[in-house]
Amino acid sequence: MRSHLLRSFRILFSTLIFICFVLVFADFKSFIPTKYTNFLLFLQFVPSAIKFYNLQSIAVCGFLIVLLLTLVTGRTYCSFLCPLGIGQDLNSRIGGRIKKKFRRYGFKRPFTVLRYSLLAVTLIVTLIWGIYMITLLDPYSIFGRFMTFFAKPAIIYLNNLLSGLLGKFDIFTLSNIPFKGFPLIVYSIPAVFFLLVGGLSLTKGRLYCNMICPVGTLLGLLSKISLFRLKINETACTRCGRCSLRCKSSCIDFLKYDIDVTRCVDCFNCINSCQDNAVSYGFVNFKKKEPVRETDESKRKIIIGSLLLLLGVSRVGNGQDKPAPKPKKDSTVKETKTFPVCPPGGIGIESFIKNCTACSQCINACPNSVLQPAFKEYGIAGIMQPVMNYHKSFCTYNCTICTEICPTNALHPLVLEAKKLTQIGKAKFIKDNCIVKTEKTACGACSEACPTKAVHMIPYEGNLVIPEVTEDICIGCGHCEFACPTVPYKAIYVDGNPVHTAAKKPVEVQSDIKTPVEFPF
Amino acid sequence: MRRRDFFKTSMGAGLAAGAALSLGGYDKLWASAPLAAKYDMVAVMGGNPDAMFDLGIQELGGMGAFVQKGQKVLIKPNIGWDRDPEIAANTNPLLVKRIIEHCFRAGAKEVYVFDHTCDNWVNCYKNSGIEKAAKLAGAKIVPGNSESYYHQIHIPGGIKLQSAKVHQLLLETDVFINVPVLKDHNSTRMTCCMKNSMGLVWDRGYWHSNDLNQCIADFALYEKKPALNVIDCYNVMVKQGPQGVSKADIVSMKTQILTSDWVAGDAAAAKMLGLAVEKVEYIPIAHKMGLGNMNLDSLNIKRIKM
């Protein structure tokens, strides 16, 4: 096939995919039903592989389809389906506009040692210790974090600007969204990757995919035996080198009529650039070619440093936090959390952190922003994995979005009735911090907020009532902790369950108030 | 039922309905001529929320007594919780809808509905049924979820609460109609008229940590007071309030109380829950501060049974 339509098709298809993914992350009002999101996520390689490992079900075999696709067509996944890859293509295009230099790409030697050792290290670490390297390097998770950490604050900022403007005209279709910022420290990893991936793609096309990305390397290995691939017709080729200069992967050695399949992402730019119709995509004839080694020119280093960006983003995040209410006295007793609270559907902390790649899809989707990227709640290896932060917000009783949307099944889908009875932690009351005891005035903010009345009020001094917790009906939603007005320590907090358990159903209390026949006044 | 019988009965029903309408009454329900209020309070029992309001507001001289032509009206129901209407954790949507309709009949330029919810506001607005009902009636439903909507006000004379941030709508509208739902409350024992004003402010935590009962009364000092309180006692959450756990917490009371005096309204509401007025501490505090009259015996109350 030498059709120019191949490239047009790639651009159209990948643009659609990219827009869909951006919409999924930009959808702060949960307009998109989760079944569509899951459809989109089906073919994401790493999330699907982890999900398959967990569920052993053919219903989640997306990654097998990707492997098959690679065996037939080469690394089309990287150009057509990977949102991080498509995003890099976009960035490369921008780079091309900025730097109007004809010779941008050209053939480069592959970073063979680096890429294969990274793949090997990732596999070994994952098999022996756990998911940490995948969390760091899975392209989908990296893309998810870019969207959640950098794009979403921008989207919310725009929304708030627009909603403020519309509000002046008495239009309230858009509403202001109080954005809860993440701790500065968890921005560090996404920021480094943002600069790395962004910088490399801006100047060097798909170098990140061909040097660091373990999925790219793995699919590249598989491409060595793929059936369809790009090739140069030696008789038609005039060695003009145009194809090589348009190759984002810098993998066309036109002097030797050779295209490195392990790096080629099937973008089809070369077909369009060739004026002699010498480049084509088609069924391969397995004729051995001499491997060629050449020394490469020195590599430029990537400058990492823009701390300004880092600071700027976190300022957007922190600007709208609720100021803490100030009671007369400070609370004195420190909360003693023995375990962090991991999101519902996680089954338990251990099994959750083993399967979560920190793609931050759930953090993005949470309508209450109670899911926050962890810093060291799960240990430093669990950095960026979602953790319930009840000082920032609480878990909505009637909501299961995070469990439905998880691409790796680290959070298992829960039906609403099951979620309402899943105990992810237990409320603990610290009487010595409580307003009712310290100020001798009524409060009850915690019990008011409790959806199951696990936190209820019992008689205290005089007309006063004070909270009490029935732990077995508590589900650990954290609304009590969020509502408690004491500072710096809360008078009620949720201690996580290392393994989630089933809560008892809320009790029905009898009352002797009857339907009135006469006015009581 | 046979087909012929069906026709007979329905014709009969139609005639009866037509006759009832032609005999009047219905138009009077939309009374437009403002009359001097004869009563301090009107209490209606035994009907649906909308029908009880039609009757009650008529006794108070119609909505025209409260809303003038071209005015902007704020209707503040309780939309605090992400609960179904049948749990009655929020104001009855049918009642909210009817009040909005009366406001427009009286010539209101615009009617706004909002609450600073406790649960996720999108869920609350939707699942309470109030968003839909209000939009159907032509009102604007406004978010209250972000501090950017709230502006600083001062309450001179407040003992614990001297300032607060209130929603811009309270400041920008001409008439404020308070539409609380009567509920048991875990801490203050009862939530109704005055406590519903907690949904007008941003920082409720301050109230909770600085003598909740006093703060509730203090806020009633603020100059912008409700022109009318419509207390929804159709379904009443008598325990496990203010959120409720199940339908077992609800008692059907089919009652509605209309009054301009929110202290009196709260006093009457306390009686509905079988509470001594003194037990609900903010009521006697507000009474002593001169914000209303909790002595129901000294009031002119019109009681109507439907």
* pLDDT tens, residue by residue, B263-302: 999 999 999 999 999 999 999 999 999 999 999 999 999 9
**If you average pLDDT over residues A13-33, what whole number do you get?**
89
B94 pLDDT higher than 90: yes
Cβ <8 Å between A175 and B143: yes
pLDDT band at B58 (very low <50, low <70, confident <90, very high): very high
Beta strand residue intervals within chain B, DSSP E? 41-45, 72-77, 110-113, 140-141, 150-154, 163-167, 175-179, 181-185, 189-191, 228-237, 250-259, 301-305
| Residue ranges making up the domain that contains B57 | 43-305
B32 pLDDT higher than 60: no
Q: Residue A363: name the closest of A213, A198, A141 by CA.
A: A141
Which of B140, B188, B272 is opposite residue A442, by nearest beta carbon? B188
Is the separation of the CB atoms in A270 and A295 below 8 Å?
Answer: no
Cβ <8 Å between B140 and A170: yes
Q: What single letter denotes the amino acid at residue A358?
A: A
In chain B, the residue whose alpha carbon lies closest to the alpha carbon of A437 is B209
Residue-wise over A372-411: b if at least 16 C-beta within 10 A, else e? bbbbebbeeebbbbbbbbbbbbbbbbbbbbbbbbbbbbbb
Q: What single letter denotes the amino acid at residue A467?
A: P
Which pLDDT tens digit goes with each residue over A91-150? 988 888 776 654 567 888 899 999 999 999 999 998 888 888 999 999 999 999 999 999
Flag whether B129 is in a domain: yes
Q: Residue B148: name the closest of A314, A140, A159, A381 by CA.
A: A159
Start-to-end C-alpha separation, chain B = 30
CATH number of the structural domain spanning residue B289: 3.40.50
Which of B146, B208, B252 is opposite residue A178, by nearest beta carbon? B146
A322 pLDDT higher than 50: no
> CB of A178 within 8 Å of any CB in chain B?
yes
Flag whether B260 is in a domain: yes
Cβ-proximal residues to A172 (8 Å cutoff; 6+ apart), any chain: A163, A166, B140, B141, B142, B143
Cβ <8 Å between A485 and B281: no
Interface residue of A448, A458, A460 to substitute, partner B, most B CBs within 10 Å: A448
Cα torsion angle, A420, A422, A424, A426, sign: positive
pLDDT of residue A507: 79
Cβ <8 Å between A521 and B271: yes
Q: What does the alpha-carbon distance between residue B261 and residue A376 come to, in Å, rounded to a whole number? A: 54
Q: Tokens for A30, please give them.
A: 């949960």
pLDDT of residue B15: 44
**If you average pLDDT over residues A240-256, what whole number do you get?**
90
Is the separation of the CB atoms in A431 and A490 below 8 Å?
Answer: no
Cβ <8 Å between A485 and B206: yes
Interface residue of A366, A401, A521 to substitute, partner B, most B CBs within 10 Å: A521
B155 pLDDT higher than 70: yes
- Domains belonging to chain A, first-starting first, are 5-283 (no CATH), 329-502 (3.30.70.20)
Which pLDDT tens digit goes with each residue over B184-213? 999 999 999 999 999 999 999 999 999 999
Biggest CA-to-CA distance, chain A: 104
pLDDT of residue A314: 36
**If you average pLDDT over residues A212-218, what whole number do you get?**
95
Q: Are strands B140-141 and B110-113 parallel, antiparallel or unpaired?
A: parallel
Residues 198-237, chain B: which have Cβ within 8 Å of A?
203-206, 208-214, 236
pLDDT of residue B5: 53
> CB of A497 within 8 Å of any CB in chain B?
no
Q: What single letter denotes the amino acid at residue B161?
A: L
Shortest CA gap A194–chain B (Å): 30
Cβ <8 Å between B145 and A175: yes
Cβ <8 Å between B140 and A172: yes
Which pLDDT tens digit goes with each residue over A425-455? 999 999 999 999 999 999 999 999 999 999 9
Which pLDDT tens digit goes with each residue over A408-426? 999 999 999 999 999 999 9
| Greater model confidence, A204 or A491 | A491
Q: What does the alpha-carbon distance between residue A208 and residue A223 come to, in Å, rounded to a whole number? A: 18
Q: Residue A242: name the closest of A276, A213, A265 by CA.
A: A276
Shortest CA gap A153–chain B (Å): 16
Which pLDDT tens digit goes with each residue over A77-95? 999 999 999 999 999 888 8
In chain B, the residue whose alpha carbon lies closest to the alpha carbon of A486 is B209
Shortest CA gap B64–chain A (Å): 24
Which of B82, B209, B243 is opposite residue A448, by nearest beta carbon? B243
> CB of B261 within 8 Å of any CB in chain A?
no
Cβ <8 Å between A177 and B274: no
Q: Tokens for B108, please give them.
A: 């209101």
> CB of A443 within 8 Å of any CB in chain B?
yes
> CB of B243 within 8 Å of any CB in chain A?
yes
Which of A177, A463, A485 is opposite residue B205, by nearest beta carbon? A485
> CB of B300 within 8 Å of any CB in chain A?
no
Q: What are phi and psi of A228, to 5 degrees?
A: -100, 140
Q: Which of A120-124, A477-481, B3-7 bottoms out in mean pLDDT, i.e. has the lowest?
A: B3-7
Cβ <8 Å between A447 and B208: no
Shortest CA gap A134–chain B (Å): 34
- Give contacts of A323 with chain B, Cβ < 8 Å: 203
In chain B, the residue whose alpha carbon lies closest to the alpha carbon of A435 is B209
Cβ <8 Å between A29 and B122: yes
pLDDT band at B153 (very low <50, low <70, confident <90, very high): very high
Cβ <8 Å between B149 and A176: yes
Task: Please name the residue that has the structure tokens 């490469």.
Answer: A296
pLDDT of residue A327: 52
pLDDT of residue B304: 96
3-state secondary structure of A359: coil
> CB of A58 within 8 Å of any CB in chain B?
no
In chain A, the residue whose alpha carbon lies closest to the alpha carbon of B267 is A521
Is the separation of the CB atoms in A254 and A107 below 8 Å?
Answer: yes
Q: What are phi and psi of A371, to 5 degrees?
A: -80, 120
Q: What are phi and psi of A59, to 5 degrees?
A: -70, -15
**What secondary structure letter does DSSP report for A199?**
H
Cβ <8 Å between A327 and B279: no
- Give contacts of A177 with chain B, Cβ < 8 Å: 145-146
- Give contacts of A521 with chain B, Cβ < 8 Å: 43, 267-268, 271-272, 296, 301
Which pLDDT tens digit goes with each residue over A264-289? 999 999 999 999 889 999 887 765 54
Flag whether B26 is in a domain: no
* pTM score: 0.84
Which pLDDT tens digit goes with each residue over B247-262? 999 999 999 999 999 9
Flag whether B21 is in a domain: no
Cβ <8 Å between A327 and B210: yes
Cβ <8 Å between B238 and A521: no
User: Helix %, strand %, coil % for chain A, to 5?
Assistant: 45, 10, 45
Instruction: Report in angstroms the alpha-carbon separations of B235 from A283, B113, B115, B212, B232.
Output: 73, 21, 20, 26, 8
Residues 353-372, chain A: which have Cβ within 8 Å of B?
367-368
For A349, half-sphere exposure in the C-beta direction (CA atoms, 13 angstrom radius) is: 17
> CB of A9 within 8 Å of any CB in chain B?
no
Q: What single letter denotes the amino acid at residue B114?
A: F
Q: Are strands A386-388 and B140-141 parallel, antiparallel or unpaired?
A: unpaired
Count how many domains chain B has.
Answer: 1
Interface size between A and B, measured as CB pairs under 8 A:
164
